[in-house]
């Protein structure tokens, strides 16, 4: 009896060893196979198991409220683009929504009431103004926002920033500016102080994403391109425009100029009663 149990146990061990040996390092596994990994882990010296930060990064799920906020902003931008039908819109007076910063602010404000930050659920959301010129010195006006803390309703943070470094060569600065542009994400609010094809000065845009296959960036904005009629400025509304990262980098890669990527915080939630 004991001999029979021993033989069955020995056969089971040998079978498992043979099956294990047949599983090469490069073979794929699916749920249902004998062995598969549920997640990558690391062990501390005392044996404590902690998540692998690189593995968990890929497992993060999108915050649906934050994604919805971004979707609504972009959808409204597209609606205004379609409504404009390629015709220039007045972008001259302080109240004109087609001035570049006014356009991005308008899209935000039209959608903000449905959202809050989890850290400050009772505080209505606000978007900062551009930092006034005298406070931007020694840099040019246009790529910095006022520093409004989150507890006062600012749901954005400066995710990335480029400022021209005079201690580096022009080529070195351009390479850094290009690398900076490759970090843009869908829904980012983008500020730059530019000297490029369309003029000199500040410009605001909302990014729709970076395309690694073509090394290009897609965006929407108003009044990057425009014209004057009887002394009044009119701006073109753009949606899903696409240019290379080099084109963008050359726009703000100048002494005393730069650009900033302002990104919505991860803890965006629905305001009470605004859940879909």
Predicted confidence (pLDDT) at residue 267 exceeds the cutoff of 80: yes
Rounded Cα gap, residues 191 and 100, in angstroms: 10
Rounded Cα gap, residues 231 and 155, in angstroms: 37
Q: Which tens digits make up the pLDDT trace of 217-244?
A: 999 999 999 999 999 999 999 999 999 9
140 with 37, same domain: the answer is no
Q: Which two tokens mark 161?
A: 């920033």
Per-position DSSP letters for the chain, written without gaps between them: -HHHHHHHHHHHHHHHHHHHHHS-TT----BTBS---S--EEE-TT--EEE-HHHHHTTPPP-HHHHHHHHHHHHHHHHHHHHHTT--EE--STT-TTSHHHHHHHHHHTTGGGEEETTBTTSPP--PPBPPHHHHTTSPTTS-B----GGGT--EEEEEEEE--TTS-HHHHHHHHHHHHTT--TT-EEEEEEEETTEEEEEEEEEEEEETTTTEEEEEEEEEEEEEETTEEEEEEEEEEEEEHHHHHHHH-STT-EEEEEEE-TTEEEPTT---
Query: What average pLDDT does the structure give for the chain?
Result: 84
Rounded Cα gap, residues 205 and 247, in angstroms: 15
99 with 200, same domain: the answer is yes
Tell whether omega for the bond before 133 is within 30 degrees of 0, i.e. cis: no
Place of tokens 């379609």: 82
Q: What percent of the chain has pLDDT over 90?
A: 77
42 with 133, same domain: the answer is no
75 with 94, same domain: the answer is yes
Residue 156 falls inside a structural domain: yes
Residue 275 falls inside a structural domain: no
Q: Which tens digits make up the pLDDT trace of 86-121?
A: 999 999 999 999 999 999 999 999 999 999 999 999
Domain count, the chain: 2
149 with 264, same domain: the answer is yes
**What per-residue confidence (pLDDT) applies to 276?**
87
Sign of the CA dihedral running 226, 233, 84, 78: positive
Task: Considering only CA atoms, give the Rg of the chain.
Answer: 26
Predicted confidence (pLDDT) at residue 137 exceeds the cutoff of 80: yes
Rounded Cα gap, residues 216 and 248, in angstroms: 9
Q: Which two tokens mark 84?
A: 């404009």
Residue 276 falls inside a structural domain: no
25 with 72, same domain: the answer is no
Residue 89 falls inside a structural domain: yes
185 with 200, same domain: the answer is yes
Q: Which tens digits make up the pLDDT trace of 198-223?
A: 999 999 999 999 999 999 999 999 99
Rounded Cα gap, residues 105 and 129, in angstroms: 9
Residue 19 falls inside a structural domain: yes
37 with 95, same domain: the answer is no
Residue 134 falls inside a structural domain: yes
The domain boundary residue, chosen from 57, 85, 100: 57
13 with 97, same domain: the answer is no
Residue 120 falls inside a structural domain: yes
Predicted confidence (pLDDT) at residue 270 exceeds the cutoff of 60: yes
CB atoms inside a 10 Å sphere around CB 177: 25
211 with 248, same domain: the answer is yes
| Contact (Cβ atoms closer than 8 angstroms) between residue 192 and residue 208 | no
Residue 73 falls inside a structural domain: yes
What is the extent of the structural domain holding 177?
64-270
Lowest-pLDDT choice from 21-25, 75-79, 110-114: 21-25
211 with 143, same domain: the answer is yes
Predicted confidence (pLDDT) at residue 29 exceeds the cutoff of 70: no
**What per-residue confidence (pLDDT) applies to 8?**
52
29 with 86, same domain: the answer is no
């Amino acid at each position: 009896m004991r001999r029979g149990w021993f033989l069955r146990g020995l056969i089971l061990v040998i079978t498992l060893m043979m099956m294990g040996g047949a599983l090469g390092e490069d073979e794929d596994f699916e749920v249902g196979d004998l062995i598969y990994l549920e997640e990558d882990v690391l062990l501390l010296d005392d044996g404590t198991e902690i998540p692998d930060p690189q593995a968990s990064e890929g497992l993060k799920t999108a915050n649906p409220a934050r994604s919805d906020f971004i979707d609504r902003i972009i959808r409204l931008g597209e609606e205004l683009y379609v409504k404009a039908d390629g015709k220039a819109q007045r972008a001259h007076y302080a109240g004109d929504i087609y001035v570049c910063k006014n356009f991005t602010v308008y899209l935000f404000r039209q959608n903000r009431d449905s959202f809050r930050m989890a850290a400050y659920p009772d505080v209505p959301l606000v978007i900062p103004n551009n930092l006034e010129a005298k406070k931007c010195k020694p840099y040019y006006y246009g790529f910095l926002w006022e520093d409004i803390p989150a507890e006062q309703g600012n749901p954005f943070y400066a995710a990335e920033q480029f400022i021209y470094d005079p201690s580096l060569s022009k080529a070195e600065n351009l390479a850094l500016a290009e690398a900076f542009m490759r970090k843009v994400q869908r829904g980012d609010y983008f500020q730059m102080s530019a000297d490029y094809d369309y003029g000199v000065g500040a410009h605001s845009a909302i990014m729709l994403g970076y395309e690694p296959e073509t090394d290009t960036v897609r965006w929407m904005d108003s009044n990057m391109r425009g014209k004057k009629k009887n002394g009044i400025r009119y701006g073109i509304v753009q949606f899903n425009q696409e240019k290379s990262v080099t084109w963008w980098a050359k726009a703000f890669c100048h002494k005393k100029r730069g650009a900033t990527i302002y990104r919505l915080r991860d803890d965006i939630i629905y305001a009470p009663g605004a859940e879909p």
